[in-house]
Structure 1
Amino acid sequence: MNYELPGAQWFKSSYSGPANECVEVAWLGDANVGVRDSKHAVGPALVFDSTDWAAFTTWLRTGGSTSV
């Protein structure tokens, strides 16, 4: 789903450089995770439940070798 989350506390990976060319994440209530494009910080965000987020990050860590 696509949301605007004005009160969220956004952060990006420590591996990200100083430029605003990355994905930002916010831990939301009800075990949801917000994701947005740092170049459009005032724009909408995607919201995932914790199960989908865990599957996605596992897939990333394994190099996409498991199905999502």
Structure 2
Amino acid sequence: MIANGVQADTISGVKWVKAAASNGVGQCVEVAALPGGDVAMRNSRHKDGPALVFTPDEVRTFIHGAKSGEFDHMYIR
């Protein structure tokens, strides 16, 4: 198990992925599937910064909320 808040650059053997819609200037969230099923997320501007670790259920719940528009009010245009 990888602890929440661990330095992202210490997580080895994972592939960090960001959205294809990324603008290429490091303003993205990157995710990595962890052994055991958890998901790590980091700020692409701070690859060596902390990673937040979520369970599969937490990620599914967040994605469902995002797809249904629950966070649209937070989007800055």
> Does the alignment reach a TM-score above 0.5?
yes
What residue number does 2:65 align with?
A: 59
Identical-pair percentage: 34
Unaligned 5+ runs, structure 2: 72-77
Deviations 1:22-58 (A, max 9, x none): 1000011111000000000011200000000100011
SS at match of 1:2: coil
Q: Distance in 2 between matches of 1:7 and 1:31?
A: 14
Structure of higher CA gyration radius = 2
What residue number does 1:19 align with?
A: 25
What residue number does 2:6 align with?
A: 3
C-alpha displacement of 1:3: 1.8
What residue number does 1:28 align with?
A: 34
Q: Please identify which structure carries the higher strand content.
A: 1
* TM-score normalized by the length of structure 1: 0.85
